[in-house]
Every structure is written in C-alpha cells, then in structure tokens.
Amino acid sequence: MNSLRTLLLVLTPLLLGGCQLLQPADDPIVGKIDELERRTQAVERVVQNQSLVNLTQQVAALERRSDELQGRMDSQEYGSATTADRQRQLYADLDARIQALEAALQARSAVSVMEGGTLSPGQLPMPGGSDRDNYQAAFELLKEQRYEPAAIAFRQFLVTYPKSELADNAQYWLAESYYVTQKFEEALAAFELVVSNYPRSRKVPDALLKIGYCNYELKRFPVARQALARVQQEYGDTTAARLAGKRLSRMEEEGV
C-alpha cells in the first residue's frame, strides 16, 4: 500500500507535466497553424481592400468620364446657343446700321434741298423715304417759303403716293403754294381738286374758303360770294366760316 502510494506520488508530477506539454499554446504545430491563419486573414483583408480600392477607382473614373461627356455636351449646347445669339445680335446691329445709313442719306438729301438746292420736275425731296417722310420734307419747304420746290415736291408726292392718307393735305398745300405766289388760276384749280377728290377731308372748309379768295382776286365776285356763303352754311362752326364772313363783309364794304 505504501509502495503504491509512493508510486503515485512519483507518477503524478510526471503526468501533470505531460499534460502541460500537450497544451495548445505550447504546441509548435498549433502555433504555426495560428500564424498561417493570421497571415491568411491578413492577405484576405488586403485582397478585399485592394478590390474595394480598384472598384472605387473604377467608379471614380467612370464618374469623371461622365462629367467630361456632360461638360462637352453642355459646352456644345452653350456654344450653339451662343452662336445663334451672336448671329441674331450681329443681324440686329447690321440692320440698325443700314437703317441709320439710309436715314442719314435721306436726311442729307432733304437738307440739300432745304439749304438751297432745287428739285427737278418729277423729283421727290426724299427719294428713298416713305410717303410721310416726303410729305414732311415738302411741308418744310413750304414753311421755309420756298414755294417753287415745295410745289414740285407736293406734285410728285401726289403722283407717287396717290393713295396715301396724306394725299388730301398734299393737294391742299400744293394749292396753297400757288396761292401765296399769286398764281390764282393754278391755285383755284388745285383747291377745287381738294373739294372734288377728297370730299370727306377736313381740308374741304379751308379749300372752299380759298376758292372764294381766288375768285375774289380774279374779280369773279359772284362766284367768290357763292363759295364763301357755302362755307358759312355748311361749316358754320369753323374758323373758315368766320374768315368767310369777314371777306363777305369786306366785299359788301367794297361794293363788289
């Protein structure tokens, strides 16, 4: 018994020591396996991380390419719109410059007439101008007391623009240009055309008045009196009617 106890006492440390030698932490094979596992995990992490980096880089590259393409498209669209805008602007500028040059040429032509130039029969004061431009130029000649070129201008106006809304006025002022130069026969015929050709014109009362005046100057007193009386009867609330009454009173005083 004592011998057995002694044997157990001897074997127990040995068994315990053997158990300690078999611990995984002290086993070199286990250590190597653990090291390989760690290295494997590290490699996997590197591979995974590298794949993610590559994927990220590829995505970034695609995004940059997309941005470049979009930028080119935007640039082309902007360039196209800008080109169209520039073309419209250039056209507008060119049109404005042409109009300015035309106006300058017309003004120069009108000024040359205003400042002492003459008009040939059949010539407009502003050949390239509108009916209103030529009417105004002719009227300016009349206001400047340049009656002969004014008469030429108004005559040609009526030939060139017979349907103009200013034709009745032009006819009246043509007659007036004759009247103030004491061409009473020509004036009479021209005033009569105002009445006959433009019966709705606001110039009719004044034309009738001047018909009376022309006949008075031509010593056709009965016809003059008739024309003046008509002004009073038909246009009694006008300045022309008041002037007709004065001339009739004068004729009474003169006994004609």
CATH number at residue 213: 1.25.40.10
Backbone angles phi, psi at 39, to 5 degrees: -65, -40
Dihedral over Cα of 79, 85, 87, 93: its sign? negative
Residue 202, domain member (yes or no): yes
What the block records as the tokens of 135 is 């009417």
Q: What pTM value is reported for the model?
A: 0.57
Q: Is residue 227 part of a domain?
A: yes
Report whether 166 contacts 147 (CB < 8 A).
no
Domain membership flag for residue 66: no
Which pLDDT score, from 0 to 100, does residue 64 have? 79
Residue 90 sits in the same domain as residue 161: yes
**102 domain residue, yes or no:** yes
Residue 128 is encoded by which pair of tokens? Answer: 């390239």
Within a domain: 68: no
Q: Identify whether residues 191 and 153 lie together within a single domain.
A: no
Query: Is 11 a member of any domain?
Result: no
Question: What pLDDT tens digit does each residue of the chain (256 aa) get?
Answer: 545 455 445 545 544 444 444 455 556 666 666 776 777 676 566 555 555 556 667 767 777 777 777 777 776 666 666 777 777 777 676 667 665 555 445 544 554 555 556 788 888 999 889 999 999 999 999 999 999 999 999 999 999 999 999 999 999 999 999 999 999 999 999 999 999 999 999 999 999 999 999 999 999 999 999 999 999 999 999 999 999 999 999 999 999 9
Q: Provide the domain limits for residue 132.
A: 86-165
Question: Does 217 map to a domain?
Answer: yes
Tell which of 165, 200, 224 closes a domain.
Answer: 165
**Distance from C-alpha of 41 to C-alpha of 36, rounded to nearest angstrom:** 8
- Provide the number of structural domains found in the chain: 2
Residues 161 and 190 grouped into a single domain: no
d(CA 113, CA 140): 10
C-alpha 102/C-alpha 181 separation (Å) is 34
| Ramachandran quadrant class, 36 (left: phi over 0; alpha: psi -120 to 50; beta: rest) | alpha
- Distance separating alpha carbons of residues 38 and 46, to the nearest angstrom: 12
Query: 154 and 212 share a domain?
Result: no
Is there a single domain that holds both residue 90 and residue 156?
yes
Residues 195 and 222 in one domain: yes
User: Do 116 and 160 reside in the same domain of the chain?
Assistant: yes
Is 60 domain-assigned?
no
